[in-house]
Amino acid sequence: MDGLDISARGELERLKADRDKYVEEIKGLCAEEGIYDYDPLAEDRMARLEGLRTHDGRILPLNMKSWITRTVQRLELVLAMIADIESKPAVGNMI
């Protein structure tokens, strides 16, 4: 058992589904520009985003870079929420 109560477990499952959705969205947006080696879950994801180039070496179009950046920011928020839930003991286990 993971120590989480039912509501926390349900929230965690939902957040992990959101994480997976954002990762796939980011990978899809990158693929549209011919970028296949960007890892949205890497620790340096924001720094690497700044250096992304299209398949032919051009900088990302501003609107695409902005879209990817916003999606990475949403991903980071979800990752922080997942870490928060996973770091806390279940309330029911504290009695």
Quick: pLDDT tens for 6-38. Answer: 777 889 999 999 999 999 999 999 999 999 999
Is there a domain that residue 36 lies in? Answer: yes
- Which residue intervals of the chain are DSSP H helices? 6-32, 45-50, 62-87
Per the structure, the complete domain to which residue 48 belongs is given by: 6-89
Residue 1 lies in a domain: no
Classify residue 94: in a domain, yes or no: no
Q: Is 41 inside any structural domain?
A: yes
Is residue 51 situated within a structural domain? yes
Cα–Cα distance, 51 to 43 (Å, whole number): 15
CA–CA separation, 83 and 95 (whole Å): 23
Residue 53 has phi, psi (to 5 degrees) of -130, 150
The total domain count for the chain is 1
**pLDDT score of 89 more than 80:** no
pTM for the whole structure: 0.84
Domain-located, residue 42: yes
Taken as a whole, the chain contains a residue count of 95
Residue 95 lies in a domain: no
The whole-number average pLDDT for the span 32-56 is: 95
